[in-house]
Amino acid sequence: MKKLLCSVMLCFSAFAIAQDTTTKIPNDAVVVATIKGNNLLQLMSMEELNNSFVGAEILKEVSKKENKYNSLEDFGFNLGATSHYFFQVNDSINYNTIIIPIKDVNKFESFLKDQNNKEIVNQNGVKSFKDQNDGAIVWNDSVLIMVIGSTNDFYFENEEVINRYGLESEDYSSYEEFIDGAEEVVEVEEYVIESTEVYEEVEVEEVEEEIEETVIESTEIYEEDTEEEEDYSYYNDYYNTNYTKKKELAKKWSMSKAIELLSQPVSKSILQNKSYLKSLDDKAEATLWISDFSSIYDNLFGSMYYRQLGGLNLGSMYADSGLTAKLFLEKDKLQLITTYTMSDEMAESYKKMTSNKLNKKFLKYINEERMIGYMSYSISTKAALDEYPKLMKNLYSSMPSYGEEAGLAIDLFSLLLDEEAVSKVLPGDMLFLLSGISQRDVTYTTYEYNDDYEYVEIENTKTETVPDFLLMISTEDARFLNKFINYSIKKQLVTYENGYYVLTIPQSPLDVFFAIKDGIVFIGTSELEMNKIIKGTFDAKVSSKHKKLLLDSNYSAYLNGKQLASKIPMEDMSKDMVDKLNWFLNNTEDGYIKSSKIKGNSMDAEMVIEVPSTEENALKYLFNIIETFSK
Backbone angles phi, psi at 542, to 5 degrees: -140, 130
Look at residue 219 and tell me whether its pLDDT is greater than 60.
no
Three-state DSSP at 595 gives: strand
Q: DSSP assignment, residue 92?
A: S
CA distance 427 to 379: 8
Closest of 512, 511, 535, 537 to residue 523, by C-alpha: 512
Q: What is the DSSP letter of 89?
A: E
d(C-alpha 334, C-alpha 328), whole Å: 6
Query: What is the arithmetic mean of pLDDT over 353-362?
Result: 92
Q: Average pLDDT, stretch 455-478?
A: 86
How much is the pLDDT for 232? 47
Beta bridge partners of 560: 590
pLDDT for the residue numbered 273:
93
Q: Which helix (H) or strand (E) holds 295?
A: helix 293-300
Higher confidence at residue 345 or residue 73? 73
Candidate from 289-298, 392-401, 466-475, 597-606 with smallest mean pLDDT: 392-401
Would you place residue 458 in the very low, low, confident or very high pLDDT band (cuts 50, 70, 90)?
confident
- DSSP class of residue 59 equals H
Question: How many residues belong to the chain?
Answer: 631
Q: What is the model's pLDDT at position 405? A: 58
pLDDT digits (tens, 9 = 90+) for 255-296: 999 999 999 999 999 999 999 999 999 999 999 999 988 878
pLDDT tens digits along 313-325: 555 667 778 999 9
What b/e sequence results for 416-447 when a residue is b if at least 16 CB atoms lie within 10 Å of its CB, and e otherwise? eeebeebbbbbbbbbbbbbbbbeeeeeeeeee
Evaluate the CA torsion angle 247, 249, 251, 253 in order and state its sign: negative
CA 48, CA 45: separation in Å to the nearest integer? Answer: 5
The pLDDT value recorded for residue 188 is 47
pLDDT at 592 over 90: yes
pLDDT band at 240 (very low <50, low <70, confident <90, very high): confident
Provide the mean pLDDT of the chain: 81
Give the span between the Cα atoms of 601 and 594, in whole angstroms: 18
Beta bridge partners of 34: 84, 287
pLDDT of residue 310: 47
CA proximity to 45, closest of 71, 12, 10: 71
Nearest to 310 by CA among 154, 497, 501: 154
User: Residue 190 — very low, low, confident or very high, per pLDDT cuts 50/70/90?
Assistant: low
The reported pLDDT for the residue numbered 256 is 94
- How far apart are the C-alpha atoms of 217 and 302, rounded to whole Å? 40
Give the pLDDT of residue 175.
Answer: 44
Spatial separation of the C-alpha atoms in residues 629 and 613, rounded to whole Å: 20
**Residues ≥6 apart with Cβ < 8 Å to 518:** 361
Instruction: Quickly count: other Cβ atoms within 10 Å of residue 183's Cβ.
Output: 11
- Look up residue 476 and give its DSSP letter: S
Distance CA 312, CA 308 (A): 9
Phi, psi of 214 (to 5 degrees): -65, -40
pLDDT digits (tens, 9 = 90+) for 94-152: 999 999 999 999 999 988 888 887 889 999 889 998 877 778 999 999 999 999 999 98
pLDDT of residue 154 exceeding 70, the answer is: yes
Angle between helices 2-14 and 105-115 (to 10 degrees): 130
Q: Is 258 left (phi over 0), alpha (psi -120 to 50) or beta?
A: alpha
- Helix and strand element counts for the chain (H, E): 22, 20
Give yes or no for residue 66 having a pLDDT over 80: no
Please say if the pLDDT value at position 10 is more than 80.
no
Query: Best-predicted range by mean pLDDT among 317-321, 386-390, 425-429?
Result: 425-429
**Average pLDDT, integer, range 151-165:** 88
Does residue 308 surpass a pLDDT of 60?
no
Q: How far apart are CA 249 and CA 519, in angstroms?
A: 64
pLDDT at 532 over 90: yes
Q: Is 78 left (phi over 0), alpha (psi -120 to 50) or beta?
A: beta
Q: What are residue 149's phi and psi, to 5 degrees?
A: -100, 145
| Band of residue 457 on the pLDDT scale cut at 50, 70, 90 | confident
What integer is the mean pLDDT of 572-585? 83
Question: What is the pLDDT at residue 169?
Answer: 78
